[in-house]
Chain A
Amino acid sequence: MTLAMKLAARVEDVKKTYDLGPALVEPLGGAKQELNFAPMGADEGRILVKALRGVTLDFPEGDFVAIMGASGSGKSTLLNLLGGLDRPTSGRYILDGVDVSQMDDADLSHMRNQKLGFIFQSYNLITQYTVLENIELPLHYRPGYPPIGPAERQWCLELATKVGLGERLDHRPFQLSGGQQQRVAIARALVNNPEIILADEPTGNLDSGTSNEIMEMLTSLNKEGRTIIMVTHEPDIANWARRQIVMRDGVVFKEALTADILRAAAAAPAGEPVAAH
C-alpha cells in the first residue's frame, strides 16, 4: 500500500499535564496516604499527572493507525488531543496544515465538525433520535448553520444504505443491535465527509463476528482514502491497521508496521508473546 506523502495530521513534542490539585502533605491519621494513581511529579505542592511527556507522531494521509497501550499509558489522552476535545499543555498539533493546538473552543468545535469523524466504544448515539436523525446530527453544527435540505437528506440516506441500515431509518438505537448501532455511528462520522476518522475502541463492546464486520467497514473507508486513527487494546483488532503505535508512560514506546509484526510473530516460537505487545 502506497501512501501519499502529504500529512493528514502531525503532533510535535506534545505534552499534557493534568493538575489534580494540592497534594495532601499531612495525610489523615498520620498514615501514608495511598493514592490510586501515580503522581508523576509534584510542583509547588500540587499533584501533577503527566499523561503525555513529549509525543511526536506523523499521520500521513490515507494511513490506518492503531494506538495501543495499557490503561494509563496516555493513549486516550492522545486520542482526545487528536480529536480536538482537549488542548496540549505544550507542543504543536498540526491538522491539515494548520496548528490547532491553541485554538479556542469555537474553532476547535468547528474543526471537529468539519475534519474529524468520531466512533466510540459505546456508540454514543442520542437514544431518543431515530437512525436518520442521529446520522444528520453533525449537519446541525456546520459552520454558518446552513439549512438541512433534500440534498443533505439524500446524502444521509446514501450513508445509511452504505452501512447497511437503509431499512431501519426510523428505528431508535435501543431497537438495534450493538453492531448496527456502531454502523449508525460510522455513518454519522462520515456525514460531513471528514479526512480523519478517530475510533476509540470501536469493537470494545462487540462480539468477534460483529467486530470483524465493523473492521471491514473501517478498512474499506481507509481504502477510499480516509485516514483512520484507532485506539484499541486488542492485538487482533490492531492487526487490521497498517501501522501500530504502542504507548507507555506517556511516550511512544514502539512503532511498527503490522506486516512486520506479523512476520515476526510467524518467526517466533508459538506461545511466546509478540514483542510489540
Chain B
Amino acid sequence: MSFTRLIRIIQLGLKSLLLHKLRSGLTMLGIVFGVFSVIAMLAIGEGASAQAQKQIVALGATNIIVRSLKPVEGSSSDQNAGGSPRYGLTRTDFKRLTNTISTITNAIPVRELPREARYLKNTMNCRLVGCTPEYLEVNHIKVTKGRFLSDADQDTRANVVVVAHEVAKDLFPIEEPLGKAIQIDSIYYTVIGVTSERTASAGIGGSLAAQDFNKDLYIPMNTFRARIGDEIFIPKQRGMDSEYLELSQITLTVRDVSDVLRTADVVRGTIEKFHTQKDFAVVVPLELLKQADQLRQIFNIVLGSIAAISLVVGGIGIMNIMLATVTERTREIGIRRALGAKQRDIIEQFLTETVVLSGSGGFLGMGLGLLTPLSFKVIRWFTLNFILDSRPGALSETSRMFSEMEPSVALWSLPLAFGISVGIGVIFGLYPARAAARLDPIEALRHE
C-alpha cells in the first residue's frame, strides 16, 4: 500500500468520523479514559515503588541489621526467677560477631528506648538511641549543626546528645539548640549537634511502621549504659513491669554487596547457637530491595490489568458503534462496491475509521496521562487540606505514604498504551469491517 493511498484512506476515515462529531467523540472517550487510566495507574505504581525503594536504599544495601525481638509472652524464656525477663541481643553476641566474621567491616551496637525529652516547658516524645560514632555514616545521617558523637564522648561517658531535625524544631522553636541542656528522665544532656531532615526508611524486624529518624536523640552507647542501664522499668497499672535487654540492634556493614547474603546466613547461625528462644531477627535490606522489586512488578501488572479492562470496555464501545455505522451506511457500502471497491477496500475503509477513532482516543489519553503527576498533586492537596484536615488523627501511616508519594509517568507506558489502543481499534474494528465487506452489493444497494 502506497503512502499517498494510506494518507487518502486516513483522510476518508477522518471525514466520516467528523460527520458525526458527538458520536465519534463519545466513542473515543472510552479509549481516552482507558489509556489515561493505564498510564495513571502505572505512574502511581511507579511512584509508590520508587518511594519504597528509596526507604530501603536508606537502610543501606551493604548493611545487615540484627534486631532484638521481644518473645511472645508465655513462651519459654531464660528469665531469672524473680528477676526481669531477659531477651534479645547481648554484648557477648556483638563481640562474637565482630571477632569471628571476617567480612564484617563495621559493627554498631544500638540501644533504643522511647523517652520524653524536655527543654524548659517544651516536651516531646522521642526515641533515645545509644550508639557509636559510626552510626552516622552507616545510616546516612547528615549533621547540619555542630558535630556528631565522638570516640572521646564514648570513652568519657559524656552527657552529650545529638538531636534530630524535628526534635530541634520542637524543643527549640526560636533558640539556638547547640550548647543548651535538655532533660531526659532526670538527667541533663548538652546538645552538641543537630541532624538534617531525613525520609523515613522501611520498617525492619517484622514491624510495618517505617523507621522515623526525625525524632531521635543520639547519646553515646557507654553513656546510655552508665545512666540508664540494661534493665528497664515500665510503669504498669499495678506496680512496675521490667525487662532486661542489652542491645536493641546491631548494624553490621560488609565490604561488598556480593558478601551480604552469605554473611547474613553466618550471622544468623552464630546468634542462633546461643539463643534458646527466637528473640532476634536478621534483616537484609538487599533482600528487601529484591522483594520490593518483585512486589513492584506485581503491583504494576495488577494496576495495569485493572486499567486495561477499561480499555477493553472502550473497545467494545467502539465495536458497537462501528456495527451500528455499518448498518447505517449499508447503502454507501453498496454504492462503493458497485463503483469498483473490492471487499478489501471496504475492510480497509472501516478498519481505518476504527483505528483513527481509537488512535486519536489513545493520543488524547496519552496527553491526559502526562498530566497524572499534576492532577495527583491537586487531588492530594485537596484531600489533605479539606478532608483529612478536619479529622484529627486521620493522617495515619498510609496517608503519610500517600502524602509523600510522587507518581512518575513511566516513559515506556506511553507507547505501550498508545499501541494497545491502536491494537484495540484493529481487533474490535475487524469484525464490523468484515461484516461491511461481506454485504451483498445488490442487497446493499437496495437497502433503505
Contacts and interface: CB of A to CB of B under 8 A. Distances in A.
A8 B420 CA distance: 52
Contact of A105 (B1, B19, B334, B342): B342
Interface stretch (B2-10, B97-105, B108-116, B397-405): B2-10
Contact of A140 (B8, B15, B332, B334): B8
Contacts, number: 68
Interface in A106-125: 106, 109-110, 112-114, 118, 120, 124-125
Max chain B Cβ within 10 angstroms of own Cβ: one of A86, A109, A110, A126: A109
Contacts of B341: 109, 113, 140-141
B9 to A, nearest CB: 9
Given A126-B332, A147-B4, A137 B339 contact: yes
A85 B16 CA distance: 25
Contact of A85 (B12, B343, B441): B441
A173 to B, nearest CB: 11
A208 interface: no
A140 B11 CA distance: 12
Interface string A220-239: 00000000000000000000
B338 interface: yes
Interface of A: 80, 83, 85-86, 105-106, 109-110, 112-114, 118, 120, 124-126, 128, 137-138, 140-142, 145, 147-148, 188, 192
Closest CB pairs A-B (n = 4): A113-B340, A141-B340, A109-B342, A147-B4
Contacts of A124: 331, 334-335, 338, 445
Interface string B332-361: 101111111111110000000000000000
Contacts of A106: 342-344
Contacts of B309: none
B442 interface: yes
7 contacts: A110-B342, A124-B445, A126-B335, A128-B15, A140-B8, A188-B339, A192-B340
A142 to B, nearest CB: 8
B4 A112 contact: no
Contact of A112 (B332, B338, B343, B442): B338
Given A145-B2, A147-B4, A138 B442 contact: no
B342 A86 contact: no
Interface of B: 1-2, 4-5, 8, 12, 15-16, 19, 331-332, 334-345, 441-442, 445
Contacts of A192: 340
A147 B8 contact: yes
A156 to B, nearest CB: 14
A159 to B, nearest CB: 14
A14 to B, nearest CB: 16
A185 to B, nearest CB: 10
Contact of B345 (A80, A86, A120, A141): A141
Given A106-B342, A128-B16, A140-B12, 11 more contacts: A80-B442, A85-B442, A85-B445, A86-B442, A106-B343, A106-B344, A109-B337, A110-B340, A113-B341, A141-B336, A141-B339
A269 to B, nearest CB: 41
B344 A138 contact: no
A170 to B, nearest CB: 15
B445 A120 contact: yes
B5 A112 contact: no
Nearest to B444: A85
A130 to B, nearest CB: 11
B19 to A, nearest CB: 5
Nearest to A147: B4
A85 B443 CA distance: 10
A85 B338 contact: yes
Contacts of A145: 1-2, 5, 8
